[in-house]
Structure 1
Amino acid sequence: MLDAPAHHESGVRRSAKVRRSALLWPAVVLFVGLLTVGVVVGLLRQAVQEAEQARFEALVRGVEARISRQVDAHLSLIYSVAGFVATMPQPVTRASYASFIRQLDVADRFQGVQGIGFARRLEGPTLDEAERTYRAIHGPEFKVWPRVGQPEAFPIVLLEPMDHRNQVALGYDMYTEPTRREAMARARNSLVPALSGIVELVQEIDADKQPGFLIYLPVYAEGASLDDLEARREALMGFAYAPFRARNFFEAAVRDLAPRVSIRVYDGTVAPERLLFSSARSGNPEDADAAFTAVRPLEVAGRTWIVEHRTAPGYSSQSSGGFLLVPVAGLGVMLVLALSFLTYQQALARTAAERQARAMRQADREKTLLLQEMKHRIKNAIARVQAVARQTVREAEDLQDFTARFEARLASMSATHDLLTRTRWEGAELEDLLRSELSAVQHEGSSSLHGPSVFLTGREVMALALTVHELATNCVKYGSLSHPGGRLDVRWSVEPHGSQDCIAIEWRETGRSPILPGERIGFGSRLIEATIVRELNGSFHRDFCHGGVICRIRFPREAEAPAKAL
């Protein structure tokens, strides 16, 4: 008999294996393809980042070049002033100096500078006389300040343009302030321009104060010897200088680069107190999101500025390289998915052909097995029919009696076959078997069935069906159901017996006069003995009692009885 559940389970396993096989190569193609796309996109991303880094480095160099050009331009202006002062009769008048500065077009050509001036060297004892001299030039309000008893002073005596800020700086002795004094001494000793540290210019007269710095260039008497430090001090006339408000200076230098880069300029070291200029306002989030940063030293007139460069929000918007990553990645993924799909379709076609070949081989095996099963069952059925026919002939009184008995037994066998066909010959419930055999002989209320669910194998069903048929036939003809008021009760149970369970059936007939032993011994008894004792290796006992009979059937349950089919 075909094992349908096992066959179905085997088919499920084969289908799962086919699906796994069909998915294996597409999965490999998908994995390798996506990995390749990832590598390509990663390399492209790295190339874009390197290009952006190079572009940022070029931008940094551009910022440094602009600052350097801005400084150089103002140095040339300071050199011009130094040459003018050195060649003019002393003291230089305000009018001649203002005319000279206008010719240089300082306001338009030299942006970011607060002014351009000259600080005259004066001996301490001559300060009062010098004040009187310069009051004649600048007015009665001119004075040298502050007065701290200094042996020499360097007050500002010339400064243009003479706006309201520069007006307050006239007469200021810059040598009294340590930061300015250090730069002035360095310029005097080195003969070259010197940049000061961070100062607050005396021109900062309102709330909008900015850090400041100055550049000094020493001016010596024409033709004087400058071979040693003492000679330079003696020949020093003063300093041409330029004061700068830091924000004005740096914004003029890098104004058009501000959307792409922000800078911070520190004097000497990177520290909050050394911050000279920041293009980013306080709390601006652009600092935290900078794509690139660079910190570079910049040498300016003997002093070092530390310039910190960061990309500004406008930097990314001017870069198109990064936008290539999305379409390249998308196109790569689409190509990989298409290739994986084609591989999947090819794998499905191959596995479908293999599955069809296996199905044909399996169908051939199943056909052979089915033919063998049919042959076996037909032989068994014919043998059983022959046995029933022989026994019926022996006990039949005439042809009509033979026909009736034989047809009844064949009908019982047919009903049993129908019952087994419902489960593909796997077996049947014991209760269903009993109800099938008793349905034609009982009347309402005349019988009862009690017992647990017991599933019988096909062999057990065929053997037990003939036994129940004979018992039911005898019960109707001679037993309790042959008289009104008679009753049939059938009970069964499963009892343990060593390592194997046994099925116990009790057939109890009540409601008629006693039956003596041997009264009903015939074909039925011989058939029961043949099926229960010989075929099922069981036992059959009949007990006669007052008002009825009790039949007890007991046989071992098959060890591998299949579960009830759904």
Structure 2
Amino acid sequence: MVQLELRKALREKSDEADTQRRLSESRLAQTQKMARADEERKLLNAELSHRMKNTLAMVLAIAGQTLKDVIERDAVDAFTGRLQALSKAHDVLLRENWSSAEIAEVMLSVLTLHADENRRELEGPKVTLGPKAGLSLSLLLHEPATNAIKYGSLSNETGKVSVKWSVDDSGGGPILSMVWTEIGGPEISVPIRRGFGSRLIRMGIAGTGDVEKSYLPTGFTATFKAPMATVQDIGS
């Protein structure tokens, strides 16, 4: 009787061990499957991003060749400059498989096209942007930077541009606030002509349209605001 109970206990123990082994093997197989799927997704995203980057470079080259004989160079320069700003933001997004970008990196990638290190100031907390906001911000910053070179603080030898940002949590939801300030430039006035660049500025960050502009004698300033939920959206 004792031997029968012992054999029964051993069988139950063996069955339990087999069950645990099968569960462990199943979990391991599932984990490996998920890891392979994640790796395939990363490879696919990298390939797509690489092709998009090559396509953008090709567009720039075609634009340069197609428009090289155009007499009105301002429009051509504006077009190619915006493409270059998008390309820089694309490079930043590519590092994170097109899922996000740090706001400071996007700003720096664009402003290096326009201002040396000693003529730009960036200050603010770490903020992660979604792809749409990253691209939007690159175009947005390109416009006042270009204007600063033509008419504002970057048109002389000593002026600077300052970009400061913060996140306000005091309201119903966190709000990103970004302030563009020009320092040490010539006296300016409100522009009479407003083109596509002005429209891009009025659209604000990610198209929110929350923009306040001031054409002060000391220089152009603008404050842009957008909900963090909008700027961090990773959707299409």
Q: TM-score, normalised by structure 1?
A: 0.31
- Picking from 163, 171, 188, the partner of 1:515 is 188
Q: Matches of 1:457 and 1:538 in 2, distance apart?
A: 17
- Identical counterparts, % of pairs: 30
Give the letter for the 1:553 counterpart: F
Equivalenced residues, count:
208
Name the aligned partner's letter for residue 555 of structure 1. A
Match of 1:436 among 109, 115, 135: 109
Matches within 5 A, 1:61-80: none
Aligned AA for 2:217? Answer: H
Q: Give the match for residue 150 of structure 2.
A: 477
C-alpha root-mean-square deviation of aligned residues, in Å? 4.2
When residues 541 and 443 of structure 1 are mapped into structure 2, their CA distance, relative to the original with a 3 A threshold, is: same
Q: Name the structure 2 match of 1:500.
A: 173
Matched to 1:404, the amino acid is D
> How far apart are residue 522 of structure 1 and its match?
2.2
Taking the aligned partners of 2:227 and 2:28, their CA distance within structure 1 comes to: 49
Kept in 1: contact 2:102–2:126 (CA 8 A): yes
SS of the aligned residue for 1:445 comes to: helix
Larger Rg: 1
What residue in structure 2 maps to residue 491 of structure 1?
A: 164
**SS of structure 2 residue aligned to 1:500:** coil
- Provide the secondary structure at the position in 1 that maps to 2:118: coil
Q: For the structure 1 residues 38 and 455, does the alpha-carbon distance in structure 2 shift closer, same or farther, using more than 3 Å as the test?
A: same
SS of 2:116's equivalent?
Answer: coil
Cα distance in structure 2, aligned partners of 1:487 and 1:528: 19
The residue correspondences of 1:521-536 to structure 2 (distance < 5 A) are 521-529=194-202, 531-532=203-204, 535-536=206-207
3-state SS of the aligned residue for 1:481?
Answer: coil
Contact 2:85–2:139 (CA under 8 A) maintained in structure 1: yes
Aligned to 1:347: 22
SS in 1 for 2:129: strand
Q: CA deviation at 1:353?
A: 11
User: What SS does the corresponding residue of 1:467 show, helix, strand or coil?
Assistant: helix
User: 1:347: Cα distance to partner?
Assistant: 3.2
Aligned pairs for 1:167-566 (under 5 A) are: 343=18, 347=22, 351=26, 355=30, 359=33, 363=37, 398=71, 400-496=73-169, 498-519=171-192, 521-529=194-202, 531-532=203-204, 535-558=206-229, 561=232
Higher mean Cα deviation, 466-475 or 552-561?
552-561
Is the CA contact 2:176–2:228 (under 8 Å) kept in the aligned structure 1? Answer: yes
Contact 1:508 1:549 in 2 (8 A): yes
Does the 8 A contact of 1:427 with 1:456 survive in 2? yes
Q: What letter corresponds to residue 22 of structure 2 in structure 1?
A: A
Structure 1 match to 2:6: 36
Letter aligned with residue 85 of structure 2: S
Task: Indicate if the aligned counterparts of 1:506 and 1:553 stay in contact, CA closer than 8 A.
Answer: yes
- Cα pair distance change 1:524/1:37, threshold 3 Å: same
Name the CA shift for 1:494/1:560 in 2 (closer, same or farther; >3 Å).
closer
Please report the TM-score for the alignment, with normalisation by the length of structure 2: 0.69
Distance in 2 (alpha carbons) for counterparts of 1:445 and 1:549: 19
1:185-226 C-alpha deviation (Å, 9 max, x unpaired): xxxxxxxxxxxxxxxxxxxxxxxxxxxxxxxxxxxxxxxxxx
Q: Which has the higher contact order (CA 8 A, sep 6+)?
A: 2
Whole-Å separation in 2 of the counterparts to 1:561 and 1:554: 13
Structure 1 stretches lacking a partner, 5+ long: 1-34, 40-331
